[in-house]
């Protein structure tokens, strides 16, 4: 991939059409819409990472949600999963507000960037291995650009973990072989950075209590400490 800054990378990602199935799906969802958002213009394109170019903490998800980020054009913005994530980030002092409704709602992240290994909304939230691999160069380049400031990474869910480890290896970090398995609470040192496994903020996990707000805040605080970020005093 060409050199260039993170803003340029984000811009280039939004024009990608490498995965025919995902291009068709994201655009069809944007045309047909959900009734509650019938008056809105959906983004309907790849969703780039969100957060400062000198972030020391990176959060890696799975892929944009059809009526969330695929609608609003910003990671985890406009759906319940995002509400859980941004509330936790706000609670620990890493975000300026607890809600994320639209790309122009003024939300600011402090030292944190959020990205995903697949940048287009997939049907049933399930990208194919081919689509995951096709999108990897974008993540590799993002990691290379973040490398000077990056100290900690929170990976949400097993898909993100499996997709991220090869990307970190390609970006130049020494990832052990065999690759460590995903687990909530997993912690992996790659030398200059540490990776933390955390259950995904999906409704399936948060509605069932598999991932509680306190568990999420704990992972974020631990990773933020490694990243050298200041968080609010511990309150559970």
- CB of 18 or CB of 103, closer to ligand SF4: 18
Q: What number of chain residues touch ligand SF4 (CB under 6 A)? A: 15
- CB of 58 or CB of 215, closer to ligand SF4: 58
Question: From the list 30, 42, 46, 107, which residue makes contact with ligand SF4 (rule: CB under 6 A)?
Answer: 46
Query: 220: part of which helix (H) or strand (E)?
Result: helix 213-226
- Assess 164 for contact with ligand SF4 (CB under 6 A): no
- Assess 119 for contact with ligand SF4 (CB under 6 A): yes
Contact assessment for residue 154 and residue 218, using Cβ atoms and an 8 Å cutoff: no
The C-alpha atoms of residue 98 and residue 77 are separated, in whole angstroms, by 11
Q: Shortest distance, CB of residue 229 to ligand SF4, whole angstroms?
A: 28
The C-alpha atoms of residue 177 and residue 174 are separated, in whole angstroms, by 9
- Assess 17 for contact with ligand SF4 (CB under 6 A): yes
Prior bond of 178 cis (ω within 30°): yes
- Assess 121 for contact with ligand SF4 (CB under 6 A): no
Contact assessment for residue 236 and residue 214, using Cβ atoms and an 8 Å cutoff: yes
Contact assessment for residue 168 and residue 143, using Cβ atoms and an 8 Å cutoff: yes
Judged by the rule CB under 6 A, the positions of this chain that interact with ligand SF4 are 13, 16-19, 22-23, 46, 118-120, 131, 134-135, 138
């Amino acid at each position: 991939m060409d050199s260039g800054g993170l803003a340029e990378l984000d811009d280039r990602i939004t024009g990608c059409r490498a995965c025919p199935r995902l291009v068709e799906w994201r655009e069809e969802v944007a045309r047909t819409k959900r009734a509650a958002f019938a008056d809105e213009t959906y983004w309907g394109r790849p969703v780039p990472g969100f957060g400062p170019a000198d972030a020391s903490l990176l959060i890696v998800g799975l892929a944009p949600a059809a009526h969330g980020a695929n609608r609003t054009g910003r990671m985890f913005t406009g759906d319940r999963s995002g509400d859980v994530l941004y509330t936790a980030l706000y609670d620990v002092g890493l975000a300026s507000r607890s809600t994320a409704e639209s790309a122009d709602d003024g939300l600011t992240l402090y030292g944190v960037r959020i990205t995903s290994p697949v940048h287009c909304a997939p049907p049933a939230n399930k990208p194919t291995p081919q689509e995951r691999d096709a999108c990897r160069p974008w993540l590799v380049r993002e990691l290379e650009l973040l490398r000077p400031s990056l100290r900690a990474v929170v990976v949400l869910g097993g898909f993100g973990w499996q997709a991220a480890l090869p990307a970190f290896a390609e970006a130049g970090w020494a990832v052990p072989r065999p690759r460590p398995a995903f687990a909530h609470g997993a912690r992996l040192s790659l030398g200059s950075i540490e990776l933390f496994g955390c259950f995904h903020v999906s409704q399936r996990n948060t509605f069932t209590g598999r991932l509680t707000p306190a568990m999420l805040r704990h992972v974020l605080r631990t990773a933020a400490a490694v990243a050298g970020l200041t968080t609010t005093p511990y309150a559970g």
